[in-house]
Structure 1
Amino acid sequence: MEEGLPDEIWRRIFEIGIEKSRLSYKDVCCVSITSRRLKRLSNEDTLWTHLLNLDFSIPIDDDDDIVIPASKTLYKTMFDKDRERKIAAHRRAVLRAESDVGVCLRNLKQLQRQLADERDKARAAECLSGFECLAATNHTGSSSKTASSGAMCFTYSLQNLCARDGS
């Protein structure tokens, strides 16, 4: 199929495909492995110059006296740098997300500690009121149920205090 068309037409097909964004660098590389002739044509600097200009916005003038490497080599270098930049940006985003998770976990642990402290305070207050009830029942001779409840709360409060102090 390709042998029936002259090189100029194949070259123009490549150029139009690249200019219209129908052919990417991957497509040009894939076509290059189909035959020696297409490999030779796809390695031409003009094609890679167009790809450089489109993909990396690097205008390259033929009139400049600046010595630059072959366009395909320059494209590969730019592609590698761009890939490394994207990988680094992704790595930073992952680290930022992991840091946010760590902050949230620390905040969660702090809130859990505060909740436990508030529960202990509420139990202590409940026990204190039960103890006051116990004291009141001892003076008035009320029911033994309130007295035993108050005594349990008092014992629980002492155990809690001892557990906190490490005694």
Structure 2
Amino acid sequence: MSALPDDLLRRIMEIGIQSGTLGCADLCRLSIACRRLRFLAADDSLWSHLLFSDFPSDFNFNFNDISSSDVNSKLKRLYKARYESDRYRKRQQQICAVLKLQGKIAEQSGKIRRIELQILEEKDKLDKADAERKYLCQIRHASVALNVWQPEVVRARQEQMVRQCTVPVKSRIKTVEMELSSCKNQIACLRKSLITEKRRLCEAEEKLARVNYHPLQDVEGASLKSGERRITNKKLKLSKTSKF
């Protein structure tokens, strides 16, 4: 590469930037390879192409706002400032998206809890209505059984059950059966709503995980775990050797 002239190397970089195969990170990596590449990578023409391609709406800049004391070019410093502000803006957007999704998850969780409480209440009503229906059916059977011969003990118990009931049995049974049907339908609708809300909650949690995902976090966590394992293995080896 030392045999190549500077103009050719600069042209190669320009072609790479114009074709999209060479980005700002690649150009920075080239600049730390050697002094020659550092000088070539700081050329204003390269960073002007990057500014125009990455930030076309902000391609109006003022050279007087940037001092020339730095070894890097003015456009490189301008690109760095614009990149940092854009990264800060994206970070703020990510934070807003995370807060919005967290609020949505809290809202969905509250809806799920309310639906679950409503289901429990409807089940309690259903159990009470079913118990009342069974009791009324027993009274109806007892009133029918009074028309036929029964032992005196059984007959007295049936008469007592019939006397204790102060409501018309047949009409009350129909009302209770309607309540049972209404409770069952209400529970079925609430269960459908619960499934829908749980599905929305899972979607919101998955979206939040995608927004919060950062590959370097997993890599750092894995490297920390591997480092901890290496430390524990060294401690075990040292303890074993000290025993001997």
Q: 2:11 is aligned with what amino acid? A: R
TM-score normalised by L of structure 1: 0.72
Q: 1:26 is aligned with what amino acid? A: A
Matched positions, count: 141
CA contact (8 A) 1:11 1:41 kept: yes
The separation in 2 between residues aligned to 1:128 and 1:60, in whole angstroms, is 81
Q: Alpha-carbon deviation of 1:135?
A: 4.5
> What residue number does 2:59 align with?
59
- The structure showing larger relative contact order (alpha-carbon pairs under 8 Å, at least 6 residues apart) is 2
Q: Deviations over 1:17-44 (max 9, x none)?
A: 2122221111111111111011011112
Q: Alpha-carbon deviation of 1:88?
A: 1.8
Provide the aligned C-alpha RMSD in A.
2.6
The separation in 1 between residues aligned to 2:103 and 2:3, in whole angstroms, is 61
Q: In the alignment, does 2:122 pair up with 1:123? A: no
Gaps of 5+ in 2: 67-73, 147-153, 162-244
The separation in 2 between residues aligned to 1:77 and 1:100, in whole angstroms, is 35
Gaps of 5+ in 1: 148-167
Q: Percent identity?
A: 32
* Distance change >3 Å, CA 111–CA 60, structure 1 → 2: closer
CA contact (8 A) 1:31 1:38 kept: yes
Structure 1 consecutive aligned stretches of length 4 or more whose deviation exceeds 6 Å? none
Q: 2:120 is aligned with what amino acid? A: A
Q: 1:35 is aligned with what amino acid? A: C
Q: Deviations over 1:76-118 (max 9, x none)?
A: 1111111112222222222222222111111111111111111
Q: In the alignment, does 2:77 pair up with 1:80? A: no
Q: Deviations over 1:19-74 (max 9, x none)?
A: 2222111111111111101101111222112111111114358xxx7624211111
* Distance change >3 Å, CA 60–CA 8, structure 1 → 2: farther
The separation in 2 between residues aligned to 1:82 and 1:28, in whole angstroms, is 19
CA contact (8 A) 1:49 1:60 kept: no
